[in-house]
Amino acid sequence: MLSEQNQIWLDKAYNLLQEKMKRELERVGSKIPFAAINGQFHDLMMPDGISWWTNGFWTGLLWQMYHATKEEDYKAVAQETEERLAEALVTFDKLNHDVGFMFMPSSVANYRLTQNAKSKSRALHAANLLAGRFNPTGEFLRAWDTNSFGSGDVRGFMIIDSLMNLPLLYWASEETGDPRFAAIANKHAFTSLHSILRPDGSCNHIAAFDPESGEFLGGIGGQGYGEGSSWSRGQAWAVYGYALTYRYTKKEEFLNAAKQCAHYCISSLAMSNWLPLSDFRASAEPVKYDSAAAAIIACGLLELAEQVSEYETSLYTGAAIQMLKAVEEKFANWNLEEDGILTGNATMYHDDRLSGMSIIYGDYYFLEAILRLKEKAIMIW
Ligand code: GLY
């Protein structure tokens, strides 16, 4: 039960989102956007083209809006966009562990809402690609095929983001009755508990393994500030990823991991007026934010609130609302003539090229969080 003040804020945010999404739908259509440059989304702006990891989020926004409003235009454009995205499965080039981010908000969402058989086979295709990245000696899913942080061997890289791709494997096992997908997801999630997650609830972005022997070699800062730091979007993937892993497995280890990460994130955000620093363990200056981290953490906390006892829910729901209100106040762009909802994004700590802009995944998780609070969200993950 929300306070009257929070309910008023929520209703207002939902109304603003409806207006904004309606206008964006008209302007953007079946383009596949990433970042709003000068208030404008462009089609496939990243060099990886159709295989870029964020390409499912626009479709996810449209499916969430269709589910919430039942307006057919959202469904029609979501389906057109998915047809385009399916090309990535044909070319295969540059696809990696992020196929869950690409095909859960598109094909799985479509299949869940419409039972579209083509969407089901696309999502199963993606699940098979993800399962094929499993390293059986190290028991983890290989993240990337190339190193964005310079040269070097990435065959043994596991990253925290992969936790959010595991639901594709759990979904595939549920759909097919074949336990192999879920078994791979379980192995990866257990490996992450003792390699990438730290005992205090913070985590590394990257854990490196010897790809031949599977020996754990150590943690790497990756998209965060540096060694031993705490990249906030990675922390967000950990909260939401472990909460979802618990939803699918009901294994206590993952519930405890999700709570550990959640408590760490809540205390870190409480120290910065609920605004998400890009890394929770960076130098005080310069101040860098990543608004998407707060939106993702909020979704993770709202997921966790559904998994815990009635006496624990208010902690997670209350903290989620604080974060959403803070980012909405500082970063939301409600100008109907401009694309993008949540400004204040950052792709990684040491790359300022897109910082401050709206990035599509930030918009997606902000919308999902608001719809979760309104009890209008479709469960995509
Ligand atoms: N690949 C996920 C992220 O950059 O957050």
Asked whether the beta carbons of 341 and 363 are under 8 A apart, the reply is yes
Atom of ligand 1 nearest to the CA of 347: 4
303 falls within a domain = yes
Q: Give the active site residues.
A: 98, 161
Instruction: Output the CA torsion sign for 309, 312, 318, 320.
Output: negative
Atom of ligand 1 nearest to the CA of 348: 4
If pLDDT is split at 50, 70 and 90, which confidence band does 1 have?
Answer: confident
pLDDT per residue as tens digits for the range 73-88: 999 999 999 999 999 9
In testing the pocket of ligand 1, which one of 141, 223, 350 has its CB within 8 Å of the most ligand atoms?
223
Asked whether the beta carbons of 345 and 36 are under 8 A apart, the reply is no
The residue contributing the CA closest to ligand 1 atom 4 is: 347
In the block, tokens 């008023």 appear at 8
Atom of ligand 1 nearest to the CA of 361: 5
CA–centroid distance, 367 to ligand 1, in Å, is 18
CA–centroid distance, 95 to ligand 1, in Å, is 14
Least confident of 31-40, 59-68, 140-149, 226-235: 140-149
Mean pLDDT of the chain: 97
- Ligand 1, residues at Cβ distance < 6 Å: 53, 98, 161, 233
Position 103 pLDDT exceeds 90: yes
CA–centroid distance, 296 to ligand 1, in Å, is 11
In testing the pocket of ligand 1, which one of 53, 102, 144, 290 has its CB within 8 Å of the most ligand atoms?
53
Structure tokens at 286: 């310069």
235 falls within a domain = yes
In testing the pocket of ligand 1, which one of 51, 141, 164, 233 has its CB within 8 Å of the most ligand atoms?
233
The residue contributing the CA closest to ligand 1 atom 1 is: 161
Task: Give me the residues paired with residue 90 across strands.
Answer: none
220 falls within a domain = yes
Position 149 pLDDT exceeds 80: no
Those residues whose C-beta lies under 8 Å from the C-beta of residue 179, and which sit 6 or more positions away, are 173
CA–centroid distance, 227 to ligand 1, in Å, is 18
Q: Which pLDDT score, from 0 to 100, does residue 152 have?
A: 82
If pLDDT is split at 50, 70 and 90, which confidence band does 127 have?
Answer: very high
Residues 245-265: what's their mean pLDDT?
Answer: 98
380 falls within a domain = no
CA–centroid distance, 205 to ligand 1, in Å, is 10
Domain at 232, CATH number: 1.50.10.10
Q: Which pLDDT score, from 0 to 100, does residue 158 have?
A: 97
Atom of ligand 1 nearest to the CA of 223: 4
In testing the pocket of ligand 1, which one of 161, 203, 235, 297 has its CB within 8 Å of the most ligand atoms?
161
Those residues whose C-beta lies under 8 Å from the C-beta of residue 128, and which sit 6 or more positions away, are 172
Q: Residue 287: left if φ>0, alpha if ψ -120 to 50, beta else—which one?
A: beta
CA–centroid distance, 310 to ligand 1, in Å, is 32
The residue contributing the CA closest to ligand 1 atom 3 is: 161
In the block, tokens 């209008």 appear at 376
Position 147 pLDDT exceeds 90: no
278 falls within a domain = yes
Position 150 pLDDT exceeds 70: no
Structure tokens at 39: 């208030």
379 falls within a domain = no
369 falls within a domain = yes
CA–centroid distance, 161 to ligand 1, in Å, is 6
Structure tokens at 61: 């926004």
Pairing state between β 36-37 and 140-141: unpaired
Q: For residue 243, what are the CA distances in angstroms to 103, 134, 189, 299?
A: 20, 22, 11, 10
Position 151 pLDDT exceeds 70: no
Is cis: bond before 286, omega within 30 of 0?
Answer: yes
The residue contributing the CA closest to ligand 1 atom 2 is: 161
Domain containing residue 364: 4-373
Atom of ligand 1 nearest to the CA of 161: 2
Atom of ligand 1 nearest to the CA of 237: 5
381 falls within a domain = no
Q: For residue 9, what are the CA distances in angstroms to 108, 158, 253, 300, 315?
A: 31, 39, 35, 20, 19
Say how many domains are in the chain.
Answer: 1
Residues 334-353: what's their mean pLDDT?
Answer: 96
pLDDT per residue as tens digits for the range 181-212: 999 999 999 999 999 999 999 999 999 999 99
Tell me what percent of the residues of the chain surpass a pLDDT of 90.
98
